[in-house]
Structure 1
Amino acid sequence: MVVDGMGGHAGGRLASRIAVREAHKRLVSAAKPKAVAEALEQVNQELFTSMHQGTEGMGATIAGVRIHRGNAVAFNVGDSRVYAFEEDRLMQISVDDAFRDKRNGRKVSSAITQSLGGGFRRRRIDAHVIERDVDAPQRFLICSDGLSDLVQDYEIEEVMRKFPHDYVSRMLGHALDRGGRDNISIISVRVL
């Protein structure tokens, strides 16, 4: 999973640390979509409970894949993404919680429509959870918006196709060459 903290330096660091800890604790036994969604809601509520002076409004985005016995459950809240790469095609399987330009579908700002925590009033989330069978070799790519805002999906697909052994470092290089103005987190998962 990738967790991207928000809320200024101190708040973002604390939010991401809490979200990673709580998500790991709760997702390890959540194999079905409903259990994953419930686990993410518990992480969300834990972030609100953990807010204190100076960290009000802290939050995090999350994206990941839980693989268990030939089954993959992909999840996200916010604008961190999960992609599946199979048969040399890249497909985004997460759903961005971001404001989009109606004409071209591009993200219009760094503002997101939901996150874990991230507000001053306690609220629930609607986690995006999708279940997929994994019956053949497959790769998943999980990343923060630090990559997906700077490197387009068709470019990610091309790099994964052309450079099957070092595509993560190449994509990181592309994002850094284009300014690297946000945290860039990339995880590759290969299911054999």
Structure 2
Amino acid sequence: MFSFLKGEDSLHAAKSDIGKKYTHNEDSFFIPEADATWAITDEKIDAGGRLYLLCDGMGGGQAGEVASSLASGWLARDFYGDPKEEIPPVRRLAELACETNARLYALAEAHDAYKGMGTTLVAAHVRDGLLSLVSMGDSRAYLFRNGCLRQLTEDHSEIWPLYTSGALTKEELRTHPRSHVLTKALVVRQDLTEDDLFMATESLEEGDFLLLCSDGLTDMVPEEEIRGVMMKKKKMAWKAQALVDAANRHGGRDNITVVLVRA
């Protein structure tokens, strides 16, 4: 799966790859382009700002694919269908994440095939130089500015507190055997609230790039190597493909999805 805007001044590029281990892809993403499936038009995007979503599904059978694709689709549809401009985008995204969680939980309860499904979420809204972020799980958002790569989100994982306390380095966090044990994800609980989500806003500068990615990238590729790809004076689509190729070169043990955004 590959999507990008053509031309020298692309605003975004996205690439999703199955990797080398699995036979199906449980990752999903949304980029702000007209989509008849979710009733999203160019006019709605112009009015609502640029929304980017990335979800990494989990669960047996095709349940992970269902959770991730519906989470990204429903959230995008509802955001553009009723942006509620009187509410700050970060609060609106958090509100919709909770509503999406309730819908997915009800679906999982109603169908045996979907029991145990879940998904991570990272949502990024860009408008008028302001980035609004909402996330849950271990999919991440990074800011690349002036040659520096900085993680903006926090992982909802069992060992993330060991990193924040200084007991683990970022590289040790990446390779730790418990790195995949999540403490939070969509559909795990019915009564999700905004307090369960990571929420943040960030002022953007000209020349900034945003990277959203699933753990299929960050578990495989050290951040310094990701930074090296971002440093290249190449088109966005080239960088997206290069990041996926790097993850597969390092083993490709999971689905890999990257979304690159020019601020």
* TM-score, length-scaled by structure 1: 0.90
Residues 82 and 140 in structure 1, CA contact (< 8 A), matched pair in contact too: yes
- Identity among equivalent positions (%) equals 29
1:176 aligns with 2:248: yes
Deviation of 1:170 after TM superposition, in Å, equals: 1.6
Q: What's the counterpart of residue 191 of structure 2?
A: 123
1:92 aligns with 2:151: yes
Residues 44 and 124 in structure 1, CA contact (< 8 A), matched pair in contact too: yes
Question: In the aligned structure 2, how far is the partner of 1:48 from the partner of 1:8?
Answer: 15
Q: Bigger shift: 169-178 or 156-165? A: 156-165
Match of 2:65 among 13, 26, 40: 13
Q: CA RMSD in A?
A: 1.8
Which protein, 1 or 2, shows the higher relative CO under an 8 Å CA cutoff with sep ≥ 6? 2
Unaligned 5+ segments in structure 1 are none
Match of 2:220 among 134, 150, 155: 150
Larger of the two Rg values belongs to structure = 2
Question: In the aligned structure 1, how far is the partner of 2:91 from the partner of 2:191?
Answer: 19
CA-to-partner distance for each residue in 1:66-125, whole Å, 9 max, x for gaps? Answer: 1122211122111100001111111100111112173325152322111110x3x52315
Question: In the aligned structure 2, how far is the partner of 1:70 from the partner of 1:83?
Answer: 16
Unaligned 5+ segments in structure 2 are 1-52
Deviation of 1:163 after TM superposition, in Å, equals: 4.7
Deviation of 1:171 after TM superposition, in Å, equals: 1.5
Q: Bigger shift: 81-90 or 164-173? A: 164-173
Match of 2:76 among 24, 36, 39: 24
Question: In the aligned structure 2, how far is the partner of 1:135 from the partner of 1:175?
Answer: 29
CA-to-partner distance for each residue in 1:16-37, whole Å, 9 max, x for gaps? Answer: 1210121112333265222221
CA-to-partner distance for each residue in 1:114-162, whole Å, 9 max, x for gaps? Answer: 1110x3x523151112111224231100000000111111221122113
Q: What's the counterpart of residue 258 of structure 2?
A: 186
Residues 138 and 214 in structure 2, CA contact (< 8 A), matched pair in contact too: yes
4+ residue segments displaced more than 4 Å:
none
Q: Secondary structure at the match of 1:112?
A: coil
Match of 1:34 among 85, 91, 94: 91
Q: What's the counterpart of residue 35 of structure 2?
A: none
Q: What's the counterpart of residue 123 of structure 2?
A: 64
* TM-score, length-scaled by structure 2: 0.67
Q: Secondary structure at the match of 1:109?
A: coil
Question: In the aligned structure 2, how far is the partner of 1:8 from the partner of 1:57?
Answer: 7
Q: What's the counterpart of residue 41 of structure 2?
A: none
Deviation of 1:56 after TM superposition, in Å, equals: 0.9
Question: In the aligned structure 2, how far is the partner of 1:76 from the partner of 1:90?
Answer: 18
Q: Secondary structure at the match of 2:120?
A: strand
Q: What's the counterpart of residue 80 of structure 1?
A: 139
Q: Bigger shift: 24-33 or 60-69? A: 24-33
Q: How many residues align?
A: 189
User: Aligned AA for 1:44?
Assistant: N
Residues 61 and 76 in structure 1, CA contact (< 8 A), matched pair in contact too: yes
Q: Secondary structure at the match of 1:94?
A: coil
Deviation of 1:62 after TM superposition, in Å, equals: 1.0
